[in-house]
Amino acid sequence: MPSEIGVVGAGAWGTALAKLLADKGQEITLWCHGDESFRDIAENRENRAYLPAIALPATIKATQSIRETVLGKRLIVIALPSHVVREVLTDAATTIDRRTMILCGTKGLEEETAKTMGALLLDLFGSGAQAYLAFLSGPTFAVEVARELPAAVTVAAFDLVVAKSIQELLSTQSFRVYTSADVIGVQMGGVIKNVIAIAAGISDGLSLGQNARAALITRGLAEMTRLAVRMGADPLTLAGLPGLGDLILTCAGDLSRNRAVGLQIARGKQLNEITTATRTIAEGVRNTRTVCLLAERLQVDMPIVEQMAQVLYGGKEPASAVRDLMLRSLKAEAG
C-alpha cells in the first residue's frame, strides 16, 4: 500500500523528492510557501519557478496548509532553507504524531544559535523524537534527481530501523541510498561544503586554475573533517558521499549555487546584489559566519572559512584572501 508522506518545502529539492516518492506510488502532500508555486503545481503539474520542464505526478497534492502536510503522515520530509526551519515547523510541532518519521534534507545551521538541524528539531519536538529523526545528504543537484539521472546519497538516523525504512522508501533504479549512524558527520558535511564552494567559485572566477581548485577542495575537506570530528563525527563519514562527494560536486558543478556566488564575487559584484537577483538560496552565504562562529567556539582552525567570512562580510578583496591563505605559516599537511 502507498504511504502518506508530507514534504515541507516546494523549492527545487523538496519538489524533486516529492516527485521521486510519487513516481514510486506514494501519496504526497507538498507544502508550498508561495502562491505562485502552489498554483503552478496544482493547476499545471509543474513548478516552473524551481524545476521548469519537469512534469509532476497527479499524486502530488499541493497545499499551503502546514497542518494538512504533516497530520497523519508516515513520513515527513523537511526541505526548507535552514533559516526558516524553526519558524515554519514551530506551529506544526504539536500536530505531528510522535511516531512519525522525520527526514531532514536541509543542509545548514541555525544562524542565531549555530545549532545543527538535528538539535533544532529536538528543540521543537522534544528529546523523545530523536528515535524518529533522520538526515539526508550527499552529492545531488535537484534537477538531475528529478530527471532520474543516477545519484547516490546517505541517510543517517539515531535508529537503524528508521534509516532502513527511509532507505527503502527513497531508493530507485537511479537513486541509490546508503545508511549511516553518524548523524553529526552527515549533517556537517552538507553544511561546510557550501562555504568551501564559495571559495572554489572565487578561485575559478579569478582564473587561478585547476591546481588551485584541487587544493581548495582538499584543504576544505581537512577543515570540514576537523570541525565535524570535534563535534563527535566519524572521520570516515567525511570521506564519503556526505563529505567529499558533496564537496566535489558543489565546488566543481556548474549547477552549484554556492560556486556561482563565488564566481560573481570574483567578478566584482556585491553580495547584496547577488542575493537579491535570484529566488534560490545559497546556504553557504548564510552559514559562513555561523560556521566561523562555531569553529571559534570549539577552537578549530578553519582558515578557508575565516577568509570567506572576511570576504563576504568584512569587505576583504578576494585576491587578498587568496594571498593570505597562501602565505600562512608553513606546516605539515596533517596539521
Cα 241 from Cα 329, distance rounded (Å): 32
Residues 81, 83, 85, 91, CA torsion sign: negative
Helices 303-313/183-205 angle, 10° precision: 60
User: What's the one-letter identity of residue 95?
Assistant: T
Exposure string of 40-59, with b = 16+ CB inside 10 Å and e = fewer, is bbbeeebbebbbeebebeeb
Identify which of 103, 41, 48, 93 has the alpha carbon closest to the alpha carbon of residue 66. Answer: 93
Cα 226 from Cα 189, distance rounded (Å): 11
Active-site hit among 24, 73, 115, 193: 193
Residues 6 or more apart whose CB falls under 8 angstroms from that of 77 comprise: 5, 6, 7, 8, 14, 17, 18, 21, 103, 105
- 193 carries an active-site annotation: yes
What residues are annotated to the active site?
193
